[in-house]
Each structure stands twice: as structure tokens, then as C-alpha cells.
Amino acid sequence: MGQTLSAPVTDKHSSAGHNDRLAFGQSAMQGWRVTMDDAQTTLLDVEEAPGTAFFAVYDGHGGETVAKYCGEYLHKNIVADPAFGEKEFKTAIKNGFLETDRTLHLDPKCNSESSGCTAITAIITDKNILYVGNAGDSRAVLCRDGIAVAMSVDHKPTNIDESTRIMFNGGHVENGRVNGLLATSRALGDFGFKSTNTSDPGEQIVIGNPHTNMSCILKRCFEVSVWGRDD
């Protein structure tokens, strides 16, 4: 989506960190795009929720605005949701995604832009339980004892449930893209596809409603990988 360079920018920007419980590494590369539109969050200990770690990748398109906004606010909206305090983490993730999309739409610096982003988030609670939320086609994989376990679902316009929802809400799928333009059927931002006059966030051509998944990690050896995909 958008213009591309004649040659990719292959410089990598990486960082790593650890505490007495977890370790992470992250790396980002601009690639073929004219600008770097992606963002990430790596928090070994969320300030508002001690003992909780949060990691996310926001794969932006059409500009960096929405991805950068999500990198700053999505985890705060999840933690601030009342369901988080009640340990209803899947509900908190869903509400946090939708609240972030709502506040994005209310922000005049964001809602006038054509940018959007997929979002893949991983929360590890103080009880060592992993919760993953994703909207779009970025992916998370849990590796335990050498076995890969998919923790996310690709939201593609060609999926039957997604294409049915898109068409029911006035859109169409062309060449595998929403209205012939967008390669993912769920995203934050992308308000050009969310013009339906409705208070129900599910009644849109493109929605920010995430898929959620969980796994009991306990104290066994594990690795979680999250990454964005460029189509």
C-alpha cells in the first residue's frame, strides 16, 4: 500500500532488555517503504500494572501516525479498562483495542489521515500466563520445547467470515484487498473504511476488534515471537 523505493533501506534498529523473569530482543527495518511506518512497545514491567509485561508490534501503512499513537497508548488503554483489574484479560484487550480506535478517531491529528496499522500484542501476567491480541495480519508464535504454536489469526479480506462482513457493511473484496486497496480486513485507524454511521464498532468495512488467545506458560521454557507482515 503506497509508494515504494527503488531499493530497500536495510539498516536495522535493534534493542534488547531483561529482568529477573524475562528477556526480549527487537529489531526493525524500513525495507521498501518510503518512510518507516511501524512502531513497537517493549515493557518488561508495565508501570500501571507491576509484574505485568507487555510487548507489541504495530505494522503501519499509509503513514506513521496511527502506529506511533498505538505504541504510546494501546497498552495504557488495556490496563485502564476495568476488566483488567478483574483479571478478565481477554475482555480488557478487546476493550483496549476499541478504545484506542475510538480515541484515534476523535483526535483531529489522526482522523484526517489515511494511515492505519495492524496490531499484535502479547501480555504476560504476574502469574506467567500469556495473552495475545491481534487485529490484522501481524503474527505471534509461541515456541515451547521446540514446538511452534500459532497464537494469532490472520484477518484477510479473502477469509469467508471477513469477506461476508465486509460486503454486509457496504464494501467489497477485489484482488484480495478491501475495496481493492487494503490487504487486511482488520486494523486500527484506516478511517476511510470506517465511515458507517453506527455506534457498533463491528458494523464497519474494516474493524479494530481483535482476536484473543491465551496460554498457560507457568515456569517451562518458552519463547514468544511477534512480527509484522508487509503485503
Model pTM? 0.90
Say how far apart CA 1 and CA 14 lie, in whole Å: 25
Q: Pick from 123, 61, 115: which is nearest to 96 by CA? A: 123
CATH architecture of the domain 4-13+25-227 equals: 4-Layer Sandwich (3.60)
Give me the pLDDT at residue 218, please: 55
Exposure b/e, 15-25, CB count within 10 A at least 16 = b: eeeeeeeeebe
> Across all residues in the chain, what is the average pLDDT?
89
Instruction: Report the range of poorest mean pLDDT among 20-34, 36-50, 160-174.
Output: 20-34
- Tell me, what's the pLDDT at 196? 64
pLDDT category of residue 199 using cuts at 50, 70 and 90: low
Interaxial angle between packed helices 89-106 and 65-80, expressed in degrees from 0 to 180 and rounded to the nearest 10: 140
CA distance 162 to 165: 5
Q: Where are the domains of the chain?
A: 4-13+25-227
Residues in the chain: 231
pLDDT 10s digits, 81-136:
999 999 999 999 999 999 999 999 988 887 766 899 999 999 999 988 999 999 99
Q: How far is it, in rounded angstroms, from Cα 114 to Cα 191?
A: 7
Residue 35: other Cβ atoms inside 10 A: 13
Residue 65: count other Cβ atoms within 10 Å of its Cβ: 22
> What residues pair up with 171 in beta bridges, in sequence order?
none
Residues of the chain with pLDDT > 90: what percent? 63
228 contacts: CB under 8 Å, gap ≥ 6: 38, 57, 58, 59, 118, 120, 138
Q: What is the pLDDT of residue 217?
A: 66
